[in-house]
Structure 1
Amino acid sequence: MPLSRLSCKVRSRTFRQVLLLLCVVSLVGLLVTHKKRIISGVYPSQSEERSNEEFKNHDNKDNIIDESEKTEKLFTKPSKPIAITVLSKKAANVTKSKPQTTTRLYPPTKWSTKPRKPLTTNRPSLVTSRPSPQTTTRKIISSTYNFGDTYATDDVHVKSQCPNRTREKFKNAENLKDKFLETVPVLQWKKHAQESEYERLRKFSGAQGWMGVTWDILNETLNLMNSTGNGYMFDTWNRTSPCIRCAVVGNAGILNGSRMGKEIDSHDYVFRVNGAIITGFEMDVGNRTSFYFFGTNTMMNSLMAYGHRGFKSIPRTVETRFVLLPDHDRDYLLVRAALTNSIIDRGRDKGKDPARYFGTNLTTEHFKILHPDFMRYLRNRFLWAPILNTKNRDIYRPSTGASILLAAIHTCDQVSAFGFMTPNYEKFSDHYYDIIHRKVAFFANHSFRKEMQLWQDLHKAGIITLYMRD
């Protein structure tokens, strides 16, 4: 081979090797530049979203932990709007100034605790900074929140000839008498369909008010509740005795094997709530249902969750009245459709037929609706919880079971409670109809431990007779 051709071939091979080396160097440089992004597997905006979600989960854990913490005082009657502390949303951003020393609110996250430099790219939309959770400061700011500790008055359940009624016992209970209001309205009906009342109560959300319910829906529904039986719990009372005796039946596992069915049915009225399965458990829980207590959401959830256990329909007998705890506009829409024998015409339950749940040939007296003042009164005075001092306060309210028992205490003359949580609750399953033992679950939107303590206080004061056993 000629020397010139051989020299040209060598130079070509050397050029390719140099070019390959340059490519490798460039690739390594890119990898080093984007090392953090490659390791995390997400863009900065995505990782911030994950961080916020983790903080949110820790918030929920803190709320649940608060349920088990004892407070020195459940409620202090305010003379002014209550000053509380809330968490500032702006506190999630890191300021340029030197961060203040603060107590860590959350456990360590899976990301490095070392401060990270802003990640920048050539694309402006991705230029961002990702602060380390350790340097994030959550500031507490002072604010006022209207808990609405003023209420309308109603004396319909005050008049009674019973000599030893629950209302009188409240007056002698040192730790309870200041919480009790004798004339707080328990039920709402036609007389409450006033625009002035609507303006007053639309300030409060959920079960505590009419926020989220339009005036038209509320007005139409309450005007259908035009009987005095809608404002008085015991419209069927025949006055055979001076005292109205009520049995309130919860669904706690303590009732399984209790043999309290006959005792429960011997009362003048029997209250039941949510997934109240009777068939097969008559010896323990009785057979009668005078009042079935529910929210639209809890009723439908119970039918779905316990259908396989035989809860195919809610308790419905000749004597049964339906007591509604309204949380949303869907509750009012359900009652309106039921009393007009029509299909629900709007909202998330559009197209559903109330007759499936309550039957046909209903009269206006078949329905009773708890007053939002009553629910706010229960929360503010009997079941105050630490979560009410946080930004998540709106998710909290007394449980449906607690609401029915306290409603009975404010309307009946004598109350016996069965199937409610007792201090030895861990010995029993969550529900009396559970096939296998299930632990009681605690959630931030209710305070089961505070409710349990309240039942103990009411029992010791003689206001209720609480069923307990070892």
Structure 2
Amino acid sequence: MLFARLSCQVRSRTFRQVLLLLCVVSLVGLLVTHKNRIISGVYPNQSEERSNEELKNHGNKEDINDDNRKTEKLFTKPPKPADITVPSKKDANVTKSKPQTTMRLHPPNKWPTNPSKPLTTKGPSLVTTRPSLQTTTRKIISSTYNLGDTYATDDMHVKSKCPNRTREKFQNAENLKDKFVETVPVLQWKKHAQESEYERLQKFSGAQGWMGVTWQILNETLNLMNSTGNGYMFDTWNRTSPCIRCAVVGNGGILNGSRMGKEIDSHDYVFRVNGAITTGFEMDVGNRTSFYFFGTNTMMNSLAAYGHRGFKSIPRTVETRFILLPDHDRDYLLVRAALTNSIVDRGRDKGKDPARYFGKNLTTEHFKILHPDFMRYLRNRFLWSPILNTKSRSIYRPSTGASILLAAIHTCDQVSAYGFMTPNYKQFSDHYYDIIYHKVAFYSNHNFRLEMKLWQDLHKAGIITLYMRD
């Protein structure tokens, strides 16, 4: 009897040990199976989805970079015309480009030479300066983006008796002559207030078009600019000399200590831009201002940023004219109020008095407004940047300084440039009026290095005379 009881206890203890061992083994198995879940804090399928998304994002960036490289390679040496092969249905990433009625632009050294059929409208005539290019490059964003390489025509600044003027010099510059369009309109005025033109240019945003500007505001503003002096830069010209000599003054630190003031003021016209401080720097930058170039936004920012340096008001002398680079409706509203001696009646600047900036008793000739075709032409032809092949393209345009220098090149007979970026820019502060050294900052909305290269090319071609220091 005692033996049977002991035997039962032994079997019970052994059974419990076996059960405990089985539990331990099962627990260890579960821990091994869900090790990733325990360590990372997420389920294995969630971790995989996250990794796939990261790879997808990385792939998109690689695609864009790869496409930019392909685009630059494609248009550095334009390929000979060739038949386009229709891709197979299996290749979902390659599509055949369709012919476009409006030109798209990429940065070439040589353009195709066969001109396309000119377009016509009821307003100012249009000219398409080169045919559209067709590509089958995969996922190039600009293949579906209309850069608008079609422009109105204008001969306001074409005629001149000056020998060897800047326009003629383009013809001898192999890397520049195909970018130049002689009849592109530089300024907009009453004759451009056409509904057909509004419909055409409303397709383009920012400085490149009239998107975001209502027909009412545009029509009222341009109809106030009803003098040929609004369409011609030099309405005050009365010299006997056949050549108009212009100095364009940037704000670069290279001018500090330059002693170029007297030379700058000796030109027939002097262009200045943004925070154009002259008081206290006359020896270096001169004191004459024939044209002050601005956008409403850049003017307001300059007054706020450089007021402590003495920039309390924009240049305003007897000879000063104002050239506007419009980005949106606030620019047209400001000019409309200035020419009607009224207060800005709507928008961001509602309640502001233009007389505070431009003075009173203004004539219509006091204002010039750059034409959106001209700004689009500068971006497309002279300062095309790879950012135009990305989704950030809308923020990009030539800088204000670049815009006025190129405007002078298209209107003056001879151009000298001072205070613009040169390869030795690191030796100088950002601005000539900086109290302490400020490093030049680079932003995505402008391509300063590309602009710097263009100034060098124009200087080497003799189109401009660029001030440089060793």
Same fold (TM over 0.5): yes
**Structure 1 position 77, deviation (Å):** 4.1
Query: SS state of the match for residue 152, structure 2?
Result: coil
Corresponding residue number in structure 2 for 1:173: 173
**Structure 1 position 144, deviation (Å):** 1.7
Aligned ranges 1:19-418 → 2 under 5 Å: 72=76, 74-75=107-108, 77=111, 79-81=130-132, 143-418=143-418
Write out per-residue CA displacement over residues 351-409 of structure 1, whole angstroms, 9 at most, x where no aligned residue: 11111110111110000000001001111110010001111111111000000000000
**2:141 and 2:390 in contact (8 A); partners too:** no
Q: 1:86 and 1:353 mapped to 2: Cα distance?
A: 52
Residue 451 in structure 1 maps to residue 451 in structure 2 = yes
Equivalenced residue count is: 381
Larger relative contact order, structure 1 or 2 (CA cutoff 8 Å, min sep 6): 1
**Structure 1 position 239, deviation (Å):** 2.6
Q: 1:167 and 1:142 mapped to 2: Cα distance?
A: 30
Pick closer, same or farther for the CA change 1:173–1:342 going to 2, 3 Å.
same
Pick closer, same or farther for the CA change 1:34–1:427 going to 2, 3 Å.
same
**1:81 and 1:147 in contact (8 A); partners too:** no
Pick closer, same or farther for the CA change 1:86–1:35 going to 2, 3 Å.
farther
Corresponding residue number in structure 2 for 1:465: 465
Unaligned runs of 5+ in 1: 1-31, 39-43, 88-138
Q: 2:76 and 2:386 mapped to 1: Cα distance?
A: 11
Write out per-residue CA displacement over residues 175-225 of structure 1, whole angstroms, 9 at most, x where no aligned residue: 111111111100000000000000111111111111111100000000000
Instruction: Tell me which stretches of 4 or more aligned residues in structure 1 moved more than 3 Å.
Output: 32-38, 69-87, 139-143
Pick closer, same or farther for the CA change 1:140–1:196 going to 2, 3 Å.
closer
Q: 1:215 and 1:85 mapped to 2: Cα distance?
A: 38
Write out per-residue CA displacement over residues 65-99 of structure 1, whole angstroms, 9 at most, x where no aligned residue: 99xx9995733647455668999xxxxxxxxxxxx
Q: 2:135 and 2:337 mapped to 1: Cα distance?
A: 41
Query: SS state of the match for residue 459, structure 1?
Result: helix
Q: 1:34 and 1:329 mapped to 2: Cα distance?
A: 58
Q: 2:467 and 2:370 mapped to 1: Cα distance?
A: 26
Write out per-residue CA displacement over residues 143-180 of structure 1, whole angstroms, 9 at most, x where no aligned residue: 42111111111111111110121111111111111111
Q: 2:354 and 2:214 mapped to 1: Cα distance?
A: 21
Pick closer, same or farther for the CA change 1:347–1:170 going to 2, 3 Å.
same
Q: 1:461 and 1:363 mapped to 2: Cα distance?
A: 38
**Structure 1 position 264, deviation (Å):** 0.2
Unaligned runs of 5+ in 2: 1-35, 78-106, 113-129
Q: 2:200 and 2:371 mapped to 1: Cα distance?
A: 13
Corresponding residue number in structure 1 for 2:24: none
**2:193 and 2:223 in contact (8 A); partners too:** yes
**1:84 and 1:145 in contact (8 A); partners too:** no
73-82 vs 440-449, which deviates more?
A: 73-82
Q: CA RMSD in A?
A: 3.4
Query: SS state of the match for residue 271, structure 2?
Result: strand
Corresponding residue number in structure 2 for 1:18: none
Counterpart code for 2:220: E
Q: 2:141 and 2:379 mapped to 1: Cα distance?
A: 24
TM (norm. structure 1) is 0.74
Query: SS state of the match for residue 151, structure 1?
Result: strand
Counterpart code for 1:160: S
Pick closer, same or farther for the CA change 1:141–1:266 going to 2, 3 Å.
closer
Q: 1:217 and 1:255 mapped to 2: Cα distance?
A: 40
**1:250 and 1:401 in contact (8 A); partners too:** yes
**2:142 and 2:389 in contact (8 A); partners too:** no
TM (norm. structure 2) is 0.74
Pick closer, same or farther for the CA change 1:140–1:172 going to 2, 3 Å.
closer
Q: 1:326 and 1:37 mapped to 2: Cα distance?
A: 54
Write out per-residue CA displacement over residues 283-326 of structure 1, whole angstroms, 9 at most, x where no aligned residue: 00000000000000111011111111111100110000000000
Write out per-residue CA displacement over residues 27-74 of structure 1, whole angstroms, 9 at most, x where no aligned residue: xxxxx9999789xxxxx9xx9xxx9xx99xx99xx9xx99xx999573
**1:83 and 1:142 in contact (8 A); partners too:** no
**2:140 and 2:389 in contact (8 A); partners too:** no
Pick closer, same or farther for the CA change 1:33–1:181 going to 2, 3 Å.
closer
Write out per-residue CA displacement over residues 331-352 of structure 1, whole angstroms, 9 at most, x where no aligned residue: 1011001101111111111111
**2:187 and 2:370 in contact (8 A); partners too:** yes
**1:86 and 1:390 in contact (8 A); partners too:** no
Query: SS state of the match for residue 292, structure 2?
Result: strand
Query: SS state of the match for residue 351, structure 2?
Result: coil
Corresponding residue number in structure 2 for 1:433: 433
